[in-house]
Structure 1
């Protein structure tokens, strides 16, 4: 009986530890980065085989999770006041363990990029450096949103590889612009702000949608243009509706919702950009990931 009880206790502790680790890295939010490299690969014309998609997805996911763990390590004192429920300030994970997780995940992300080839690794290295620079020194400076936007843009370019990066600059810039707007709002999500901040994010969403539509090649198939337009409409609706609500009443709760909606809206934007690049097949799993990401965010917040 004692052995059974001890086994059950150990099992419960293991489950609790796994849940805490998933919360530390905002695990479900990684679904919002999988489309970055697909959009980049589609824009560059570089074939994205199933194996390559898997390697790039693993690299993006590990580097994203590394950034989340590092964020909680760097913000442990602020979170003790503003988010005491988070794993580090609540004592469920030590700062040293969070830093170790960030380091290990960064190594895993670079290894996955290296497995895809030197071309991908050449972009993954500055991407990892940007993630660490953002969390450890740039986040709370005026350069914070730009650093986060740069990381997202580099993630897109990793899909194209260093040699094909110039062909993927447009989708990288569009996703970076969206990221800049979402990051700027996130800096006020615990305190609230004036209406001008979410209004600016709403304007950015509309601009990104219009630019993405304008960049769709005239030579693209009619079905591709129609699909891309529909996806861009979904993107604007997904991000813009929450931003509009926050503009009307910019309190902390509505700003957090606008940030969450903005993070999830990256998925239809990525899908639209992949279709724009002629890769309809790559867009299909992203469409399946969108409702899943939203549903899982109710259990683990993406912010």
Structure 2
């Protein structure tokens, strides 16, 4: 056999076989499929494991920030002077669903922007399909409204306003000047949802607390305080990708300090019930200290060095600081033990935020 034909026979190259001169010996043909492995088929690409898919959805929904949600309803319930009951539980469930709907919708709406700035996010990285994220947002919104409806028509009305605000923010208002105000309104409405559901849950009457019962409107000062904090954190978050802003974290730092000082005032604001004198006097300063430490310290770092990593850290601290702020609002309303229950979520939020970013 000539050398060229011998090489073709060994390599199975169709071009070399065609170039080899014909002789009386039949050409040796190696099927191309045999080069790809046993059975003549190429190995199929590995499918994502269940753990990988679960991780992708956890990132999409930002599950580490979920622990900041139940305290809204608890603070709202405390503001009405009632102990948490069935209506409060329904409000917590509705709030969790609507919050997660907003997270899924946020990434769906930002999928093209994230492909440039955050290609590691679940949708641009291909780990979650855009249609699946949008479907999840719709299903979670429906579930949240259904839970709120079980707490009565007033609660459903507040939840509907909350859902409309969430969708308007994600689809239209996020990148406008109204973005921070829309996000602040959503958090304020979430606290009012807890107050309304607790005060008027269908078929139940929540037991009044030690300070007596109040109408849901008594929760307005607490809702405004939570909204102010949310506005400040959202304004900072608009710079977390590029960094470079000193004014936003500085203004947020001033707002956080103002909220902490207001919480420690001797007399509650107009319309707020008075705190329980014994336990409240002990726990309220501790809650305020935890709030300032969680929110103010990373904001100060972002003021001194407005780099993207420190700005993102300030946003994450501001999100986690909502828990001690909710505890503070509950204690000022006369329910320090409710605030203590909310503070029990802090270790969980901190531990999970190390695995899944809340931003």
TM-score scaled by length of structure 1 = 0.92
Which residue does 2:347 correspond to in 1? 291
Render the CA deviation track for 1:240-285: whole Å, top value 9, x for unaligned. 0000111111111100000000000000010111122222332233
Tell me, yes or no, if the aligned pair for 2:74 and 2:342 is still in contact at 8 Å.
no
Q: Does the aligned pair in 1 maintain the 2:275–2:332 contact within 8 Å?
A: no
Question: What SS does structure 1 have at the residue aligned with 2:222?
Answer: helix
Aligned equivalent of 1:138: 173
Match of 1:106 in 2: 141
Larger Rg: 2
Task: Tell me which protein shows more helix as a share of its residues.
Answer: 1
Q: Tell me, in whole angstroms, the C-alpha distance in 2 between the residues paired with 1:94 and 1:196.
A: 37
Deviations 1:163-218 (A, max 9, x none): 73311001100000000000000000010123222111100101111222235466
Q: Distance in 1 between matches of 2:333 and 2:275?
A: 11
Residue 155 in 1 paired to residue 163 in 2?
A: no
- Runs of 5+ unmatched residues, structure 2: 1-45, 200-214
Determine if contact 1:225/1:276 at 8 Å carries over to the other structure.
no
Q: Report if aligned partners of 2:274, 2:333 keep a CA contact under 8 Å in 1.
A: no
Which sections of structure 1, spanning at least 5 residues, go unmatched?
1-8
How many angstroms apart in 2 are the aligned matches of 1:156 and 1:254?
Answer: 29
Q: Which runs of 4+ in 1 moved over 3 A?
A: 162-165, 215-220
Counterparts of 1:268 and 1:218 in 2: how far apart (Å)? 19
d(CA) in 1 for partners of 2:73, 2:274: 23
Q: Mean alpha-carbon deviation: is it higher for 278-287 or for 86-95?
A: 278-287
Selected match of 1:281 from 337, 354, 358: 337
Residue 212 (structure 1) aligned to one of 263, 272, 292: 263
Tell me if 1:25 matches 2:25: no
The answer for the alignment partner of 2:81 in structure 1 is 45
Encode CA deviations 1:97-142: one digit per residue, 9 max, x unaligned: 1110000000111111112222211210000000000000000000
CA distance in 2, matches of 1:152, 1:165: 16
The aligned counterpart of 1:229 is: 285
TM-score normalised over the length of structure 2: 0.78
- With 109-118 and 62-71 compared, the bigger mean Cα shift is at 109-118
Kindly tell me the number of residue pairs found equivalent between the two proteins.
293
Please give the alpha-carbon distance, in whole angstroms, between the structure 1 residues aligned to 2:105 and 2:254.
31
